[in-house]
Amino acid sequence: MSIAIGDPVPDLALSATNDQEIRLTDYCGRNLVLYFYPKASTPGCTQEGLDFAAAEAAFNAANTTILGVSRDGLRAQQNFKTKQSFPFELIADTDEQLCRAFDVIKPKTLYGRESLGIERSTFLIDATGTLVREWRQVKVKGHVDEVLEAVRGLAQ
């Protein structure tokens, strides 16, 4: 199962920071930015999280919640959130249920070795719970501004 633009998001139970169990459908009535990153506490992932955190008030003003997702365990996610003071929750998708639903697990090559990992990706879900936009193979620099612009476009 892979979610495509125009599809409703699945109603999956997910473990998140601050000992929460959340469902994507909990956010109906608000827009939702779901950003997937490869690994907590690595440079690119930290910068992306800090960029989203810096823009959190603007997203909130646009009726939008931000959630970060990686395959890291809950303890690693909580440590990452706490250390960086992220104002949003992080999902520990250790069973890759959400990653597979959004088709972000891709082959990667590092030092000549191939493995499967998360392709940095962001998804915008509107207030009805429908996927309306996606960004794949994300480059961190300038990405949050582009997502915020798309969110603001939903209100028009």
**Residue pLDDT, tens place only, 45-69:** 999 999 999 999 999 999 999 999 9
Residue 150 sits in which domain range? 13-154
- What is the per-residue pLDDT across 62-117, written as a single tens digit (0 to 9) for each? 999 999 999 999 999 999 999 999 999 999 999 999 999 999 988 877 778 887 88
Instruction: Count Cα atoms within 13 angstroms, Cβ side, for 108.
Output: 12
Whether residue 16 contacts residue 32, with contact meaning beta carbons closer than 8 Å, is answered with: no
The pLDDT, as a whole number, for residue 1 is 59
Residue 156 pLDDT more than 80? no
Q: Across residues 24-45, what is the average pLDDT? A: 93
CATH of the domain at 124: 3.40.30.10
Report pTM.
0.93
Burial class (CB in 10 A: 0-12, 13-18, 19+), 58: middle
**Ordered alpha helix ranges (H), the chain:** 43-54, 56-61, 74-84, 97-101, 143-154
**Identity (one letter) of the amino acid at 70?**
S
7 to each of 12, 23, 96, how far by Cα in Å?
A: 15, 16, 19
Residues ≥6 apart with Cβ < 8 Å to 137: 119, 120, 121
Domain contains 5: no
Domain contains 148: yes
Number of domains in the chain: 1
Q: Is the dihedral of CA 25, 26, 29, 32 positive or negative?
A: negative
Q: Which residues are catalytic?
A: 45
Domain contains 32: yes
Domain contains 29: yes
Domain contains 6: no
Closest CA to 18 of 90, 95, 72: 90
